[in-house]
């Protein structure tokens, strides 16, 4: 079997408008490197999607292409995982197909790898065309993670990164179902370095990360790498107890010193509503952790593959 020096892993979901143009741009960069390579597209959609038809057309023209087609959408982080599982290269590079991860940066990642770094990650200095609100929430997420996470993940880093063969093999040993690739890669350790870049605008199509998906992504990251939310419950309990005690003293002072009359329902209703709200928040936090534990104990596979296509459009 021919030795592959570089494996490029590209998750694809509903990108039929741009995927062929992305492939051409990526190919220019890879061919200038003078290294043997493979490009692994992960079709994170149904097997008969429009994107899959475009990928098959690309495959028929280039034997260096491999397509892993899921049975359904399993998510971006799982798609990255599948790509690493099947990559054969001495180094594995992950990037998105929307061209916000500039393929031209691949040479820099490889240069650092040749210098002995096992993990070369990228750091977004700015994202062109992104609105203020999205940038604000992104920065807020990384700020919170930097304060509460059990690992140093880096600030504003992206999934665009390189793993040495040693690091990729170690990553494959991680079997947990809640996948936050940036956190998992940081957790592994190894010699690493960050490379700053400016993410470009999407040429075509729209981002597949809706508000709901972004919230889910952030929750997975926080719950996977921090016990801080569960600790909030203890702190909240102490604070509520202190506030309740202060409130009782205030009522006694009002009745004894000021000799006023409180409506019977006011203090009771206020305390009940306050405590009920705190309890619901606490139950929600505990419930999130329990749900993650339940998901892990089911031991389901991370993904299911419909077909793997390799060489001249044939099935591997």
For the chain, the maximum distance between any two Cα atoms, rounded to a whole number of angstroms, is 92
Q: Would strands 6-12 and 91-94 be described as parallel, antiparallel, or unpaired?
A: parallel
* b/e burial code for range 74-102 (CB count within 10 A of at least 16 → b): bbbbbbbbbbbbbbbbbbbbbbbbbbbbb
Closest CA to 76 of 221, 234, 290, 273: 221
Q: Would strands 6-12 and 157-164 be described as parallel, antiparallel, or unpaired?
A: unpaired
Q: Report pLDDT digits (tens) over 33-92.
A: 989 999 999 998 877 788 888 898 888 888 899 999 998 888 888 899 999 999 999 999
Q: Report pLDDT digits (tens) over 191-235.
A: 988 888 876 665 655 555 555 665 665 666 665 656 666 666 666
Domain covering 6-133+151-208+302-310: architecture = Alpha-Beta Complex (3.90)
Dihedral of CA 171/114/191/121: which sign? negative
The pTM of this model reads 0.68
Phi-psi region of 99 (alpha: psi -120 to 50; beta: other; left: phi over 0): left
- Give residue limits of the domains in the chain: 6-133+151-208+302-310, 228-297
Q: Report pLDDT digits (tens) over 155-197.
A: 667 888 999 999 999 999 888 777 778 778 888 888 988 888 8
Burial status of residue 9 (CB atoms within 10 A of its CB: 0-12, 13-18, 19 or more): buried
**Contact (CB, 8 A) for 149 and 183:** yes
> Secondary structure of the chain: what % helix, strand, coil (to 5)?
50, 20, 30
């Amino acid at each position: 079997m021919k030795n592959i020096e570089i494996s490029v892993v590209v998750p694809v979901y509903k990108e039929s408008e741009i995927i062929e143009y992305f492939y051409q741009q990526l190919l220019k960069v890879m061919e200038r490197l003078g290294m043997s390579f493979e490009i692994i597209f992960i079709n994170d959609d149904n097997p008969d999607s429009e994107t899959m038809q475009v990928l098959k057309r690309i495959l028929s023209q280039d034997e260096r292409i491999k397509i892993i087609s899921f049975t359904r959408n399993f998510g971006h982080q799982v798609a990255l995982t599948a790509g690493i599982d099947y990559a054969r290269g001495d180094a594995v590079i992950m990037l998105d197909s929307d061209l916000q991860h500039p393929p031209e940066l691949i040479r820099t990642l490889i240069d650092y790898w040749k210098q002995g770094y096992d993990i070369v990650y990228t750091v977004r200095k700015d994202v062109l065309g992104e609105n203020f609100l999205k940038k604000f929430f992104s920065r807020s997420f990384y700020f919170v993670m930097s304060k509460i996470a059990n690992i140093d993940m880096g600030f504003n880093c992206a999934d665009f990164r390189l793993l040495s063969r040693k690091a990729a093999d170690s990553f494959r040993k991680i079997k947990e179902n809640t996948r936050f690739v940036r956190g998992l890669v940081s957790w592994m350790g190894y010699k690493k370095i960050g490379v700053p870049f400016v993410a470009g605008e999407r040429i075509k199509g729209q981002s597949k990360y809706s508000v709901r998906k972004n919230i889910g992504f952030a929750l997975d990251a926080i719950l996977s790498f921090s016990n801080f939310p569960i600790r909030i419950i203890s702190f909240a309990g102490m604070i509520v107890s202190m506030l309740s005690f202060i409130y009782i003293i205030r009522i006694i002072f009002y009745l004894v010193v000021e000799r006023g009359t409180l409506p019977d329902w006011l203090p009771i209703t206020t305390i009940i509503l306050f405590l009920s709200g705190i309890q619901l928040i606490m139950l929600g936090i505990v419930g999130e952790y329990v749900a993650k534990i339940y998901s892990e104990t089911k031991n389901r596979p991370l993904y299911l593959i419909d077909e793997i296509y390799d060489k001249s459009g044939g099935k591997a």
